[in-house]
Amino acid sequence: MAHIACDHDHHHHGVAGDALAAELAAAEARCSAADQRLTAPRRRVLELLLEAGQPVKAYDLISTFAVDGPPAKPPTVYRALEFLEKQGFAHRIESLNAYVACRREADGHAAAFLICDCCGATREFEPEATADIIAAGQAAGYALTGVTIEAHGRCADCKE
């Protein structure tokens, strides 16, 4: 889904400085506790997602991956994204074909997103309908592994 062209400033709220360092340290600790490794490529992709504060396409991550030198090879970034999703550090926004950092600590939580079609701002929240969805899946014989809801519209800044 493409963003609608608009003529106002867009403010994205990524993480930087001490807050970014704290998020990365917390990710390291969670990985260590789960006997997983936050390798340099995985850490860099997580860092880029946190700094962006909005959904980022994989090829944009590839092009900005290296601080100095050539960009990362696509398999490196895709493997990192797969790991980050599996460990609960990132979500894939299907409708945008993009990824966003997950800053919630609950493992396996349902994810719901409000996505602005104008500026791309994305807000994650825990949907109350999750129990109903899981119950419906179980009643139909499904063993659900995740629930993701995406809602599109305009954020408060863009609707004005």
- Tokens, residue 51: 């700094």
Beta bridge partners of 114: 123, 151
Q: Could you give the C-alpha distances from 8 to 4, 13, 22, 67, 81, in angstroms and in order? A: 12, 16, 32, 30, 31
119 is in an annotated binding site: yes
158 annotated as ligand-binding:
yes
| Alpha-carbon gap, residue 72 to 58, rounded angstroms | 11
Check the annotation: does 155 bind a ligand. Answer: yes
CA–CA separation, 23 vs 84, rounded Å? 13
Report the alpha-carbon distance of residue 38 to residue 58 in Å, rounded.
18
Beta carbons within 10 angstroms of residue 99's beta carbon: 26
Backbone angles phi, psi at 84, to 5 degrees: -65, -40
| Positions at the binding site for Zn(2+) | 116, 119, 155, 158
| Positions at the binding site | 116, 119, 155, 158
